[in-house]
C-alpha cells in the first residue's frame, strides 16, 4: 500500500479533549495547537491526511461518519488519548474501508484501555502500537498487553517520553519510516 493510495485520519490527543478544554480546533489545511508536533507535520505534508472532524457529536461518532464518507483504504493514526476514540468507534467501523491503525504512545488509564480493548478485541484490521519505554501514564508492559489484546504489532520506541514535540519528536523521521513499514505490511495482506 502506498501513501498516495491511502486516506489518513489523524487523531491527536488535543482533539479528544472536551470542547471546554480545547485550546483550538485544527481544521484540514491549518495548524494544530502544536505546529511542531510530528502529527501536525504529517497533516501538512501528506496530501491525503486530515484531522478527525469533531464539530458534531462524540469523537467516536465523528470518526465513523468521516470513515464512511471515504472510498479509498483508510489508515487511522492516533496519538495519546486518540486511541480511546478509535476503541470507542471500533464496532461501528466494520462497514468502512479501514486498512489499519497506527497507534502512537497510547494514553489513558490502563484499566479503561484494557476494558475498551476487550470490548473491541481483536481489531478487525491490522494495527501497530508504537510505545515508549518511559511513558509517564501507560507503562510499556501495559502498552504491549494492549497491542496483544488488539491483535496488533508492538514496537518499543525506547526512552522517548510521550513521543511529542516536548520530548524532541517534532519531525520524528523514525515514525515516518515506521509508518512506511506498516503501509508495506498492509500491502502484503
pLDDT for 52: 94
Q: Write the pLDDT tens digit of every residue in 61-102.
A: 999 999 999 999 999 999 998 999 999 999 899 889 999 999
Q: pTM score, two decimals? A: 0.87
Look at 93-97, 116-120, 150-154, 159-163 and tell me which has the smallest mean pLDDT.
116-120
CA distance 39 to 51: 10
Q: Specify the DSSP element, H or E, that contains 154.
A: strand 153-156
Contact (Cβ atoms closer than 8 angstroms) between residue 130 and residue 178: yes
DSSP string, 61-87: HHHHHHHHT--S-EEEEEETTHHHHHH
Give the single-character DSSP code of 41: H
Percent of the chain at pLDDT > 70 equals 84
CA distance 127 to 48: 19
Contact (Cβ atoms closer than 8 angstroms) between residue 77 and residue 39: yes
Beta bridge mates, 60? none
Contact (Cβ atoms closer than 8 angstroms) between residue 111 and residue 136: no
Look at 30-44, 97-111, 172-186 and tell me which has the smallest mean pLDDT.
30-44
What is the set of domains in the chain, with CATH numbers?
A: 3-188 (3.40.50.1820)
CA distance 67 to 88: 14
Amino acid at each position: 500500500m502506498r501513501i498516495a493510495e491511502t486516506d489518513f485520519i489523524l487523531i491527536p490527543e488535543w482533539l479528544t479533549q472536551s470542547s471546554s478544554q480545547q485550546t483550538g480546533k485544527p481544521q484540514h489545511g491549518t495548524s494544530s495547537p502544536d505546529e511542531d508536533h510530528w502529527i501536525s507535520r504529517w497533516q501538512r505534508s501528506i496530501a491525503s491526511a486530515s484531522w478527525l472532524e469533531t464539530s458534531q457529536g462524540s469523537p467516536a461518532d465523528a470518526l465513523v461518519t468521516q470513515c464512511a464518507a471515504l472510498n479509498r483504504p483508510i489508515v487511522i493514526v492516533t496519538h495519546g488519548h486518540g486511541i480511546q476514540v478509535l476503541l470507542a468507534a471500533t464496532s461501528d467501523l466494520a462497514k468502512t474501508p479501514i486498512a489499519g491503525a497506527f497507534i502512537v504512545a497510547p494514553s489513558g488509564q490502563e484499566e479503561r484501555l484494557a476494558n475498551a480493548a476487550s470490548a473491541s478485541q481483536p481489531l478487525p484490521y491490522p494495527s501497530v502500537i508504537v510505545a515508549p519505554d518511559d511513558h509517564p501514564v501507560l507503562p510499556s508492559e501495559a502498552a504491549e498487553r494492549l497491542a496483544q489484546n488488539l491483535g496488533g504489532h508492538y514496537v518499543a520506541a525506547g526512552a522517548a517520553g510521550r513521543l511529542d514535540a516536548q520530548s524532541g519528536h517534532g519531525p520524528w523521521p523514525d515514525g515516518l519510516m515506521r509508518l512506511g513499514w506498516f503501509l508495506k505490511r498492509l500491502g502484503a495482506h
